[in-house]
Amino acid sequence: MRLAGQRAERDEARPMHAEVAQASPPLEWLRVRARQENFPVALHVLPPRYRRHLLTLYAFARMVDDIGDAAPGDRLLQLDRISAELDRMYAGRTGDDPLFQRLAYTVSECELPQSELERLVEANRRDQVVHRYRTFDELLDYCALSANPVGRLVLRVFGVSTERRAHLSDRICSALQVLEHCQDVAEDACAGRIYLPRHDLDRFGVVEEDLMAAQASTGVRAVVALQVQRAVRLLDEGGPLVDDLRGAARLAVAGYVAGGRATARALVDAGFDVLARTPRPRKSHMLCSLLASLGIGDAR
């Protein structure tokens, strides 16, 4: 999942190991990208230590996603090199790349397991070889790699991770990933990837060519509406996590839930037409949803 953030320091990514250097873009660029996400990656009101760790995790996740989505050359090889760099980092041999230096600090301070970071890399490996999903359950299996690790890492940043909370976080993160897939139907289809389940496309008489039209057909809208309905249900199932947390952790997770609900509303307001334009959540709707998640006011 793609983990808005403060103005970053203006240091460029210097080579760490020659084979990985091309994979690490400037940190400033990565952090600017955080402001374009559907949900606040690191709310300004969070204590600086948390915000710094969250932005570092976002930078890593964004870098890995960009390799998997658009890097020239052999993407699988580049992803393997990221995994090798993680191995070196966890062995205490971090290079001089600013991103991995910051990641090493965050890993040490927050006691982050390598397995969760590696699952993000594995999700992008899967993107290179799996371009269709038959059922929604298959898609959720993908979300377990691409999105859920982010939420589990966030809980560890705040020092509040438990098995129950991780399970609730998984529901929220999967919902956010499904909603992002709905927004990006046209872009993904042009790249040869379809995250709308094949079973649902068949059910509503949608063929793949319909996903590249200038405007969504009735069938496409119905498929997107079904995914949004499922995502909202997942948000509802994960929602109790907000009430289970306190302080900065509660505020951060409430921000993620609010971003999901505001994105779902944007898709509804667009009539589920994700082809004519990409529906984006309004800041006012996100704020209303944030207050509602915190038990202040309502979501109207």
pLDDT digits (tens, 9 = 90+) for 135-184: 999 999 999 999 999 999 999 999 999 999 999 999 999 999 999 999 99
Percentage of the chain exceeding pLDDT 90: 76
Q: What is the reported pLDDT for 44?
A: 77
- Domains belonging to the chain, first-starting first, are 1-129 (1.10.600.10), 131-300 (1.10.600.10)
Q: What is the mean pLDDT of residues 96-113?
A: 94
| Among 207, 197, 230, 215, CA closest to 272 | 215
Instruction: Say what the pLDDT of residue 21 is.
Output: 41
Crossing angle for the helix pair 218-238 and 247-269, to the nearest 10 degrees: 160
Under the banding of pLDDT at 50, 70 and 90, the label for residue 291 is confident
* pTM of the shown model: 0.87
**207-253 pLDDT per residue, tens:** 999 999 999 999 999 999 999 999 999 999 999 999 999 999 999 99
Alpha carbon separation from 32 to 112, 164, 194, 270, 276 (Å, rounded): 24, 33, 27, 26, 26
Per-residue confidence (pLDDT) for residue 22, from 0 to 100: 47
